[in-house]
Amino acid sequence: MDYVAERINCIEASGIRRVWQMAQQMKDPVDFSIGEPDFNTPEPVKAAAIEAIRDNRNTYTLTTGLPELRQALGREIEQSYGWSEPAVLITCGLSGALTLGLMATVNPGDGVLIPDPYFVSYPHLTRLQGGRCQFVDTYPDFELPAEKLQASITKVSKLLMLNSPANPTGIVYSPAALQELAAVAKKHNLLVFSDEIYRQFSYDEPATSIGHYYENTVLMRAFSKCYGVPGWRLGYAAAPAHLAGLLDAMATFQQYTFVCAPHPFQAAALKALRCDISAKVAAYRHKRDLLYEGLKDRYELVRPAGAFYAFVKAPGGSARTFVEKAINKEVVVIPGSVFSERDSHFRISYATGDEKIREGVERLCKLV
């Protein structure tokens, strides 16, 4: 008897994790594989977590999260968006928010519009709910014109996934582009999930959210990238008051899955909200420039405007073939087919030291 459920056939093991595990076996790799900040957690945030643990704040919290954290986030969102009394749910990372959001909204056969390239989880989690992936091709510049979105909408379309600043492309949508996308979403009464985990890492101008222009938006954010705590698994979802029922549904699913986000880390997040990370952002702007300037004369790539990533066109056309060559030279990159319906590009994560970036650029340039 086969005890494994058939739904596993909807998904496959993470290609990012598979390549990253390979890197752990190498002697001296330049690891451009995983999007994990290379800076340490700010000392005041670590101290707050330690204090919470010592104060025995190791119990469950409310399913929705610590009231004081939800209130602090709600005030920040109200000031930024003008949403009166927004609903806030603390989740186990942004992945938790995304999983709960799709569980609460997608019925079998519902269409989920996903710009391609996309974050690796979007199609797999959509299929697990029985949803239909409706990919919107954004090659070659990875922008999302309103007319492309309009052409992809069908009678089953229900939800639009947006990610800006974006993984894997580093694209940041402009305010004008988001206003045009909001108009299309409003015309078709789409729900929008706005993945904003990299919102602080926008290098040329501040990142804007579609939430400024469209009220049927659920913001999904996390503390992982900006405060160097990906292992804490702490994120949140927020929405205008008229979508509070949707967040209630997500909280109900959380009761029977994640239960609640980790208590001591929720307490520490209050301290994190008061931390200045501008120096970290400036350091990553420098890393972006190191990588782009080092590769632009040898490779075809769009200059990343945010996040930690560059999505580079593979010489010879096949990203899988090129990635094998790169790994043989101990440069660990991810084939673009992990993030796309195409196999034409590869992803670089420049969340590593400056010297490793210089070394990796040199090795990659020798491969051309």
pLDDT tens digits, one per residue of 71-130: 999 999 999 999 999 999 999 999 999 999 999 999 999 999 999 999 999 999 999 999
Q: Are 362 and 63 in contact (CB under 8 A)?
A: no
CB atoms under 10 Å from CB of 186, counted, come to 14
Q: Are 333 and 32 in contact (CB under 8 A)?
A: yes
Cα dihedral 135→138→144→146 (10° resolution)? -70
What total number of domains does the chain contain?
2
pLDDT at 25: 64
- State whether 231 and 285 are in the same domain: no
- State whether 229 and 158 are in the same domain: yes
Task: Evaluate the omega torsion of the peptide bond into residue 168 and state whether it is cis, within 30 degrees of 0.
Answer: yes
CB atoms under 10 Å from CB of 95, counted, come to 18
- CATH code of residue 292: 3.90.1150.10
- State whether 163 and 297 are in the same domain: no
Is a pLDDT exceeding 70 seen at residue 210? yes
- State whether 265 and 297 are in the same domain: no
Q: What domain range includes position 105?
A: 59-272
Q: Are 211 and 217 in contact (CB under 8 A)?
A: yes
- State whether 194 and 323 are in the same domain: no
- State whether 238 and 310 are in the same domain: no
The proportion of the chain whose per-residue pLDDT surpasses 90, expressed as a percent, equals: 89
